[in-house]
Amino acid sequence: MSLASTPAAALAPPAMGRVAAASWRTRFEGQTGLLLLSPAVLFVTVLLIVPTLEMLSASIQTQDVAGSIGRPFTARHFVRLVEVPLYRDVLVATLRIAATTALLAAVIGFPIAAVIARGHPTAARCVNIIIVMPLVVSIVVRAYGWQLILANGPNGVVNVVGSWLGFGRVSVRMLYTEAAVVVGSLHVFLAMMVLPLASSLARIPRSLEEAARTLGASSLRIFWKVTLPLCLPGLSVGLTLVFTLTASSFVLPVILGGNKSQMLGQLLEQQATAVFDWPFSAAIAIVMVVMIFAVNALSLWFIRRQLNAGAIEAQS
């Protein structure tokens, strides 16, 4: 008997069984996915979301003379961070040091990333090792190393080398300045710029640059019109990583900046452990979190915009 002459009622039960089995399988896979995701959700909730909410709650409460935190609710702690000149200068210095470090890392990191992505394999491996190896050394050790190098006076390595080169008794005073914090941050966080840039450069077809060169474009114009636009996603990731890590750092500003070049991390530590002003400390922490999340959100928006623009151009 052919399939065309088979009654529809005879085909209904097997079809319904397959539908039921598919539905059960979908529910099982969904429940399994939720079960596998639950440890990560619990981890993030307990160690990130709940403390952040408690910190946000403390930042808008009032602390009495006995040290207890409670009502009335107020936003004066955030206003105080902006209105008081001392605290405002620390906030501006944090943004300035983080932005300067990120921009210098981009300028220094581009040639290094080009060697890793397009250089000779031996040179690429050596440079990659040089960039990655410092990550296995503690930040404290590297910060103290830079403290010896940038030390003020005749014992500083910079001043000693200057004397050896015939500059006489030079006295470069870099330690406990913003420049020292920038130098230390560059050394610590440069890999966070080089690796995303090298990944973006490795994905760019060399034929695009060769075509531009064939059409008469100079090397600078090829870089500005071809290489740089295609590297923007990696550059955006690198800038975001270096900026956020520098803005939230504590060890480097303490060791290299001292009391003369304070950043928000130092101000937060002082207010929490020396002044015991918990609401103001929480407000500083919230400002740091919001600043970092804003930079990351801006970076993600920029990357998605570039990817969408590239997809539209490819379709057209």
Q: What angle do CA 52, 269, 75 make, to 5 degrees?
A: 50
Report the 10 Å Cβ neighbour count for 288: 20
Domain ranges across the chain: 69-309
CA 113/CA 127 separation, integer angstroms: 9
What was the pLDDT predicted at 305? 81
What was the pLDDT predicted at 11? 45
What was the pLDDT predicted at 94? 95
Q: Is 175 helix (H, G, I), strand (E, B) or coil?
A: coil
Tokens of 314: 């490819």
245 alpha-carbon distance from chain centroid: 5
Q: What is the largest CA-CA distance in the chain?
A: 107
Query: If residue 4 lies in a helix (H) or strand (E), which one and from where to where?
Result: none
CB 182 within 8 A of CB 97: yes
Report the 10 Å Cβ neighbour count for 39: 9
Which CATH architecture describes the domain 69-309? Orthogonal Bundle (1.10)
Using alpha carbons only, how large is the chain's radius of gyration in Å? 28
CA 291/CA 264 separation, integer angstroms: 11
Block means of pLDDT (10 residues each) for the chain, length 316 residues?
48 56 61 80 89 90 83 90 92 94 94 91 91 88 89 75 67 84 93 93 88 88 87 90 93 89 91 90 92 89 77 60
CA 316/CA 306 separation, integer angstroms: 15
CA 100/CA 180 separation, integer angstroms: 12
What was the pLDDT predicted at 29? 61
Ramachandran angles phi, psi of 104, nearest 5°: -65, -35
Of 236, 224, 283, give the one whose Cα is nearest residue 84. 283
